Amino acid sequence: MSTATVIDPKIVKELRERTHAGMMDCKNALTEANGNPEEAEKILRKKFNLSASKKAGREAREGVIASYIHLGGKVGVLVEVNCETDFVAKNESFRELVKDITLQIAAASPIYVSRQEVPEKALHDEKEVAAAQIKGKPEAVVEKIVAGKVEKYYTTVCLMEQAFVKDANLTIKDLVTSKIGELGENIVIRRFTRFAVGEGADTTPKSETT
């Protein structure tokens, strides 16, 4: 008779902190992985990605609009995050996700929610700048380097592509995906606005008239 693997609660807690999965999901994954945290993390990532892909097309009309004021009133954020039901909108875990998203926006200054929102002109300009920096190299090399720089651009300006400020091993997309798996509903970051004191103000000195 095989002996069941004894799962250390401390390892369950650490896995939950890394993946943001539910406690039972973490425990089950560790059991399946015979107590190996790395394998358990792979199991959870696969499970949540599959779960999220099945729910991605479902309508999300509930949710919250949240605000966050940062750096003593120097930065402010408004964000709308949607889910499928009012029940999940009131869930503490969902609210934690929303709070983390507002922190991300305040700290990392994204411009768009996802790469699908990036205007063609912005991409064209980015490609032109990248190509100009490596002018003279073979065309195949230029294409490869430009593609890499565009991907880097996405990770800078797109919220879903950014590394999570609390865990650089996760993107915001990973964070949302794991929460979809945990809560069982589609979750969508609909829109956001970030304000910074003095941003966009005309700082050109005004000439004095006599």
Q: Is residue 29 part of a domain?
A: yes
pLDDT-flagged residues of the chain (< 50): 1-2, 207-210
The pTM of the whole model exceeds 0.75:
no
pLDDT computed for residue 2 by the predictor: 43
- Could you tell me if residue 203 is inside a domain? no
- Show the domain range for 40: 7-55
What pLDDT shows up at residue 118?
A: 95
What is the pLDDT, as a whole number, of residue 43? 85
Give domain status of residue 205, yes or no.
no
Query: What pLDDT, on a 0 to 100 scale, did the predictor assign at position 18?
Result: 72
Helices first, then strands: H and E counts in the chain: 8, 5
The domain tally of the chain equals 3
- 164-186: b or e for each residue (b if 16 or more CB lie within 10 Å)? beeeeebbbbbbbbbbbbbbebb
Residue 56's pLDDT is what? 60
**Rounded CA gap, 6 and 133, in Å?**
56
Residue 77 lies in a domain: yes
Whether residue 96 sits in one domain with residue 12? no
Same domain, 74 and 86: yes
Residue 209 placed within a domain? no
Going from the C-alpha of 62 to that of each of 25, 84, 87, 88, 208, the distances in angstroms are 25, 5, 9, 9, 54
Answer yes or no: do 109 and 164 share one domain: yes
Q: 136 with 45, same domain?
A: no
